Structure 1
Amino acid sequence: FHMDFKYFQVQNKKIAISQITSVSENELNGIRDKMLGYMEDYLKTSGLSMQFVMLTNIIEEKTELLYVGRGAKNLVHTAFRKECGEHSVVLPGVVSRKKQMVTPLLSAMEEEGTM
């Protein structure tokens, strides 16, 4: 979780985006629930507004984005224009945090801040 973990801030909201990559869908599925539990616990003491983890399958070129925090689901919906589950959404074609994840999320945060 913390090996590839980056912080970002827009206005008064601080978020973190972590990424775990694998060539095995089974491996990613096997850590999903544990990761969500850890994210919820960590959020309470981290000082973050929201937390995101990209479970990226590099073979299938897709990411399941896990999220926790108040407003995280709405932020992801705004950023990617996708129907979102309670704590996750699958994003086909998204594999790069820097090029495909950070900009849409931070832009959506700025958009929410001006509403």
Structure 2
Amino acid sequence: MLSPLPARLLPARLLPARLVAVLLPLVLLGGFLGLFAGEGGLGAVVVALAATLAVGASALAARLVRAVPPNRIRTAIRDREERTAFLPQRDPDASGRSRPRAPGRLVPTAA
């Protein structure tokens, strides 16, 4: 959604993102209208232009994202190790594990 602020008040680093956010839907809409009108070569041009805009938008988004500090990465790895350290063992036949006991027979007098 576009900001109601004029362009002179927007941060300079957000202007390319706003431009891509406006141009990509317009290009796709124009392409769909051109395809329905029956023009054959316009579809390839629109797809190429939309792909170029999408690649540009993803490159721009990658540049605008802040880097994750290394201590958050270490904390996430440590937390994952702590969660997986106490998972139950899934192999009952592993060495050192006792065999599970089979259920016993019913005692006839208890019935």
TM-score by length of 2: 0.26
Q: Which structure is larger by alpha-carbon Rg, 1 or 2?
A: 2
